Structure 1
Amino acid sequence: MYARILGFAAVATCLAMPVFAAVTLGDAAGSYTISPAGSSIRFSIGKLGGGGFDGAFARFKGSIRIDNSDVGRSRVNITIFPESVGTGQSRIDAFLRSDAVFDAANNPEIQFRSTSVKRTGETSALVTGRLTARGKTFPEKFTAELSGLKAGTIKFHVTGKVLRSRYGMDVGTPIYSNVVHFDMTLTGKRS
């Protein structure tokens, strides 16, 4: 769910490329559709005393638009389908889909819509946006690093942290951390 935010960060990364880089911003400008085949949205939650669990979302979609003339006007939109969550442990997966966490039956989508993209380095950017999960919307930030551009395909590595309590998903705290760490690879195909 927080992964959507990370996807938006990916757009920011592309916009962060300098003119002297191997790939210029002009080369990356355009619209892209996120391809699930070359992408992944992973997360981890720590546990008091060590351990915790890792998971991923199998279904998501999104788009990236990189504005060559004004990086700040670039946009990232990501939708995650929480019923696709997987941890490799069926009992945990069912619990995460339940009304105690994602409430996937009543809230079938988690959405991230970027509101700003700010260049932070030659190939990096900070993407700020609004994350909506379980009917609650809050501003969130993700960092994005451009990791490739070739033949109409762009790739970003996106990371960020989200407090799950903001979205009514704080069951298990403080034994399980309130902080969800996201680590995403987003691959976009030029539209």
Structure 2
Amino acid sequence: MSLRVLGVAAFLALDLIGGTASAVALSDAAGRYAISSSGSSIRFAIGKIGGGGLNGAFGQFKGTIRIDGGDIARSKVDITIYPDSVGTGQSRIDAFLKSDAVFDVANSSQIVFRSTSVQRTGENSAVVTGQLTARGHTSSEKFAVELQGMKGGQIRFHVSGKVLRSRYQMDVGTPIYSNIVAFDMQFTGRRG
């Protein structure tokens, strides 16, 4: 197992400027990174019968990535998303998503992901498993991570995964709207 691959695996929970993933060695990547809102994004899509569907993003989130150079399994990812920052480009839908029918932001102001394991899947890829908590419900979720680069104390990852809305009592509108939420995320972290 190459050290650069271990560097990828360390962040499986949920990307950066310049450099290539193959040039990153674990000894270079080891450390703690704060996720920067600049260069990071959390986007989602929910399919709909007959086409269309719903696309959106969260504008506010924070997190840390701690890459353990000695033991990749001890690396950690912590992400907090603020559902009040959800945006679809349609104010009526945004208000519905924030209501007690979906995110219930008045009573549940955060969605939290805490990693529990990291497993390498390829040269520059891994799967991060962790506990996702939303609306007071917690379930184990998996996300695929691809290291995109590292340069100047910053590291960049692409993260994707699918989550069932029903696990968090947010499945209003099914089966017309899919129970599956597809996430497409970019994370840039700065060492420090």
What TM-score comes out, normalization by structure 1 length?
0.90
Q: Deviations over 1:85-133 (max 9, x none)?
A: 0000000000000000000110000000000011111111100000000
1:156 and 2:157 equivalent? yes
Residue of structure 2 in register with 1:176 after alignment: 177
Structure 1 counterpart of 2:105, one-letter code:
A
Q: Which residue of 2 aligns with 1:147?
A: 148
1:94 equivalent to 2:89? Answer no
Residue 6 of structure 1 is matched in structure 2 by: none
1:12 to partner: Cα distance: 3.2
Q: Residue 78 of structure 1 corresponds to which residue in structure 2?
A: 79
Distance 1:189 1:128 in 2: 22
Q: Which amino acid aligns with 2:46?
A: I
1:35 aligns with 2:36: yes
User: What is the CA-CA distance between 1:21 and the residue it aligns to?
Assistant: 3.5
Q: Within the alignment, does 1:130 sit opposite 2:131 as a pair?
A: yes
2:166 corresponding residue in structure 1: 165
* Mapped contact 1:34–1:186 kept (Cα < 8 A): yes
Give % identity.
69
* Shift of residue 171, structure 1, vs aligned partner: 0.3
Task: Give 5+ residue unaligned stretches, structure 1.
Answer: 1-8, 15-19
1:132-165 per-position Cα deviation (integer Å, ceiling 9, x unaligned): 0000000000000000100000000000000001
Give the Cα separation in 2 of the matches to 1:121 and 1:40.
Answer: 24
Identify unmatched segments of 5+ residues in structure 2. 1-8, 16-20
C-alpha deviations, 1:36-74, integer Å up to 9, x for none?
A: 111000000000011101000000000000111111111
Structure 1 outlier segments of 4+, above 6 Å: none
Measure the CA separation in 1 of the matches of 2:139 and 2:130.
Answer: 8
User: Which residue is equivalent to 1:110?
Assistant: 111
Distance 1:90 1:46 in 2: 19
